[in-house]
Amino acid sequence: MLNALLVKSKKHPPLRTAALRDLAAATGGDDVDADVEDMHPAASIAVYASTLAERRATSSELRGVHAADIAERLHDAKLTTPHQLRRLSLRADGALSTASRLPEHECADLGELAAIELRGDKGAVLHGEGSLFTAPHGVFLRRKIVSGGLETNDENEWETHYPEGWTTFLACAFAKTTGGASMTWCESERTRSRLFRAPNPALADPNCLDDDGANAWMSKSPWTRLLARRQRGSLHVDVHGRRDPDGAETSAQIGDGDCDLGFGALEALDASGAGRLRAAMERALNDVFARWRLRREKAGDFDLPAFTVNARPVLTGRRPDGRLTLSQQGCALGLVSVQIELSMRLRRALVEDERARGEFAAAVTDAAASCAPLGYTTYAGIDAMHKAVATNARHDARIHRVYDRQLAKIDMEREVERVRAEVGYASSGPVVGAIPRYEHFPKIPGQSSGALHDVYFRRGLYEDDENDSA
C-alpha cells in the first residue's frame, strides 16, 4: 500500500522489500513475527505474566493465581506474541489496557518487559534452567552522565552508548548451542535503532543502573526483574564488545586482549571461587583459540589473528561509580555472572565460523560446570546490597511449595481413608507409602461394581482418565 501511494504521488520511487520490512518493524508491523526456531512466544508471555504478578502479591501461591489471571486475559485478547504486546503498549490510546482489561500501569510494565526478547530452549526460557547469555548493548542507548561520582542535575546531560555490533547475534547463538537462554532487545527496537541511529528515549541502559539503596534497584529495570527469575547458582554471561587491540592507545587504555573476562562482580562475593572460575575459563578459551587457528592454517588461511584472552582486564564488569552492571545485578541475585568483552575482529570471526562459535560457548559453560558451586550469600561490594537479596525470597517460595505439596498429600490420604470407611472398607492400619490401587478394594455385598468408583469421582480423587490411583 505504501509503495502504491509513492508511485501515485510521483515524488518517490517504490521502496525495496528490505526497507519495507525495516519500516514495518520500526512502526510495529507484523512482519517482525517471523518463525524463529529458538523463540517460544507462549513461554515468553508466561514469563511476562509471572514477572508482572510479583508486584501484585508476595505469597508464592497468590503470585501463581495472579499470573494465571494475567495470562488468561492476554489469551482472551488474542495477544499471543511479545511483539503484539510491545506494539499495543506503545500506542497512546491505551489499546493494550482496553484489549487485555489490565490496569494502565501494568500495561506499561508489560510493554517494558516485551521490549526484551527471550530466546532459547523452552525450559530455559520458562523455568530459568541452564545458562543465560545477555547482550544489553545491541541498540543505541542513553544514560545520565556521571561527573565526580555524581549524576549531573541537568536533565539534558545524557550520553549516548553506541551499539556493540554482533553482540545480540552471538548471545543468541551461544544460548542455542548450549541449550540455555538469551536476553536481548527485541527485533523492533533493534530495527528502530538501525533506522534512526539514535537512542529511544523510553529505554535506559540496563548495564548502568542506579543504586537507590534498600534493594530498590531490583524492581526498577525490566532486565533485572527477568534476571531474578533465573535459578540461583546458574551461569550468567553478559556479552559485550570492546575495541580491537592496537598495541598503542587502545591497548594502553583497556588492555591488549581480544577476549576480556570480567570477574569484578564475582570477586566481591567469593574471591577464591572467582579465581578458580577465571583460571578454568582462561585455559578453556585459550585451547579453543589454539585449535581454531590450527584448523585455519591447515586449510591454508593465515589471516586469522592470534586471539588472546585477558583474564585480568580493565573492564572488570564492576563499575567504580556506584552504579550497577548486569554482572553486579546477577551476582546480587545469586547468579554466577561474568562479563565477557569481545573485540570486533573476534566477533566478526565468530559470526563467520559456526564451529568456532559452538566451541567458544561450550568452553565457557564447561568451565563454569567444572568449578564447585559458589557459596556466597551476600554482596559485599555494594553497601546497599549487604543484606536481603532476591534469592532469599526464591528460597522461601521453594520451601512453601514443598510444604504445600506435603500438606496436599496428607489431606489426600485422610480423604481416601474417610471414603474407604464410607463405602465399608475398614482400614487395617495407617496408610504407608502409596495408596492401594482401586482394583485391590474388596466389593461390598449388594453393591454395584461401579459404586465404589462413583464415590471417588464424586470426591474428585481422580486426576484424569489414565490415572486410577488416588
Domain residue ranges in the chain:
23-114, 116-388, 399-459
In whole angstroms, what is the distance from residue 36 CA to residue 233 CA?
Answer: 29
| CATH of span 116-388 | 3.40.630
* List of E strands, 74-178: 116-120, 132-135, 141-144, 146-147, 150-151, 158-161
pLDDT at 217: 66
Q: Among 58-72, 371-385, 427-441, which is the least confidently predicted range? A: 427-441
Side chain identity, residue 457? F
Element spanning 417, H or E = helix 390-422
* pLDDT of 453: 39
- The position carrying cell 506474541 is 81
Give me the chain's average pLDDT, please.
Answer: 79
Q: Say if CB 317 and CB 339 are below 8 A apart.
A: yes
What pLDDT score does 73 carry? Answer: 93
- In what helix (H) or strand (E) does residue 222 lie, and over which residues does it extend? helix 222-227
If you average pLDDT over each of 34-43, 211-220, 268-277, 454-463, which comes out highest?
Answer: 268-277
Q: How confident is the model at residue 171 (pLDDT cuts 50, 70, 90)?
A: very high
Give residue 459's Cα distance to chain centre: 41
Smallest Cα–Cα separation from 214: which of 394, 388, 391? 388
Can you give the pLDDT at residue 11?
80
**CA 85 to chain CA centroid, nearest Å:** 18
pLDDT tens digits, residue range 77-112? 999 889 889 989 988 889 999 999 999 999 999 999
- Is 190 a residue whose pLDDT tops 50? yes
For residue 108 the three cell numbers come to 506499561
Specify whether the CB–CB gap between 254 and 242 falls below 8 A. yes
Distance CA 223, CA 190 (A): 16
Q: Give dist(CA 171, CA 165) in Å, integer.
A: 11
Beta-carbon contacts of residue 268 (< 8 Å; ≥ 6 apart): 318, 331, 379, 380, 381, 382
Q: Which three cell numbers stand for residue 291?
A: 585449535
Would you say how long the chain is, in residues? 470
E strands, 257-300, in order: 259-262
Each residue's pLDDT tens digit, 326-355: 999 999 888 999 999 999 999 999 999 999
- Report the range out of 27-36, 177-186, 376-385, 416-425 with the highest average pLDDT: 177-186
> What pLDDT does 442 receive?
39
192-214 per-position pLDDT tens digit: 898 888 999 889 899 988 876 65
Cβ neighbours of 337 (radius 10 Å): 29
* Short-list 114, 78, 91, CA closest to 27: 91
How far apart are alpha carbons 184 and 209 in whole angstroms? 17
pLDDT in the model for residue 36? 63
- Range 217-239 average pLDDT: 89
- Taking the C-alpha atoms of residue 226 and residue 134, their distance in angstroms, rounded to an integer, is 11
* pLDDT confidence tier of residue 137, bands split at 50, 70 and 90: very high
Q: Give 371's pLDDT tier (boundaries 50, 70, 90).
A: confident
Cell of 430: 495407617
Average pLDDT over residues 160-177: 95
Strands 132-135 and 181-185: parallel
Q: What is the DSSP letter of 209?
A: B
Residue 27: band (very low, low, confident or very high) from pLDDT cuts 50, 70, 90: low
Highest mean pLDDT among 145-159, 348-362, 370-384, 434-448: 348-362
Residue 239 has pLDDT above 70, yes or no: yes
Q: Residue 371 and residue 380: Cα distance in Å, rounded?
A: 21
435 vs 419: CA distance, rounded Å: 13
Q: If DSSP codes are grouped into helix, strand and coil, which group holds residue 210? A: coil
Phi, psi of 386 (to 5 degrees): -75, -10
Give the integer Cα–Cα distance in Å for 253 and 248: 9
pLDDT at 138 over 60: yes
Cα distance between residue 48 and residue 109, in whole Å: 9
pLDDT score, position 214? 54
Determine the pLDDT at residue 396: 47
The rounded distance, in Å, linking the Cα atoms of 184 and 268 is 26
**Predicted TM-score of the model (pTM):** 0.74
Look up cell 502479591; give the residue: 57
* Contact call for residues 121 and 181 (beta carbons, < 8 A): yes
b/e sequence 418-430, b meaning 16+ C-beta within 10 Å: ebbeeeebeeeee
3-state secondary structure of 263: coil
